[in-house]
Amino acid sequence: MYSKGRIKEFYEKEAERYDKTRRWFEKGRFAYKERKLYSIFLRKRGIILYVACGTGRHISYLVNQLGCEVIGLDLAKNMIKIAMTKLSNAERERVHFLIADAEQLPFREGSYNGVLCTRAFYLFTNKFKFLREAYYVLKSDGRLLLSSVFMDLFLTRLGIRIGIFADDPEDFPYTSRQCASMLKKVGFKKVYRRCITFFTGDPRFLPPLIVRIISFLEDLSQSGRWVMVIGEKIS
């Protein structure tokens, strides 16, 4: 279990090198596929709450490509400071930041068209509390888009066991199906699962045809190493 104080302290120190050590998630194929799903499931020109926004890797896309207004929320002040430096003057008019706890969202009921949480869910102390908070602040027909690492694939579990892939925290939920069940328990009526990637890593060493085949299979799949779980609030 991760304490909030420990998490905050870690990311305050990590902020300066955060983007440099996570290029795959910031600018690579993973980020591209996440944004592709945002374009499908997010309401254009909506008001979006970006929880655990970190250094704001998706903010410019949300503002410029989807026409959204964005509230970025994070526990770590230093992460938000870096996110602010990435914005143009025009983008700053449509983006606001707040230092706050994802499990105690300081917003009124029905404030947002969408809530995003990418690669942070496993860090939350009380995952159900965050999901309830996200449900509460969403408008009717609003959607929660949550991307996280899961152990859906047998090949992933085998790769970890024999040392090919790095292990990840095994906190509940273990699979994306379990995560989808959690969303339903807090009130989301429609829940979708979409694979982001089967594995992480740099695919440039693979032939382009193989990369296209992998991408095609990922687009058809509901499970993988990284999955986005989408919950729709229907009143």
Mean pLDDT for the stretch of residues 182-187: 96
Max intra-chain CA distance, the chain: 50
Q: Which helix (H) or strand (E) holds 229?
A: strand 226-232
Residue 206's pLDDT band (cuts 50, 70, 90): confident
pLDDT digits (tens, 9 = 90+) for 26-67: 778 889 999 999 999 999 999 999 999 999 999 999 999 999
Confidence (pLDDT) at 122: 87
Q: What value does the mean pLDDT of the chain take?
A: 90
Domains and CATH numbers, the chain: 4-232 (3.40.50.150)
**Distance of alpha carbon 30 from alpha carbon 226, whole angstroms:** 9
Structure tokens at 14: 């990590």
Structure tokens at 141: 């027909």
Confidence (pLDDT) at 2: 67
> 79: exposed, middle or buried (C-beta count within 10 Å: 0-12, 13-18, 19+)?
buried
Residue 195's pLDDT band (cuts 50, 70, 90): very high
Upper half-sphere CA count for residue 45 (Cβ side, 13 Å): 0
How many residues does this entry show for the chain?
Answer: 235
- DSSP symbols for 140-194: EEEEEEEEEE----HHHHHHHHTTSS-----PSP-SHHHHHHHHHHTT-SEEEEE
Comparing CA positions, the residue from 166, 113, 108, 104 lying closest to residue 132 is: 104
Question: Strand 47-51 and strand 112-118: pairing?
Answer: parallel
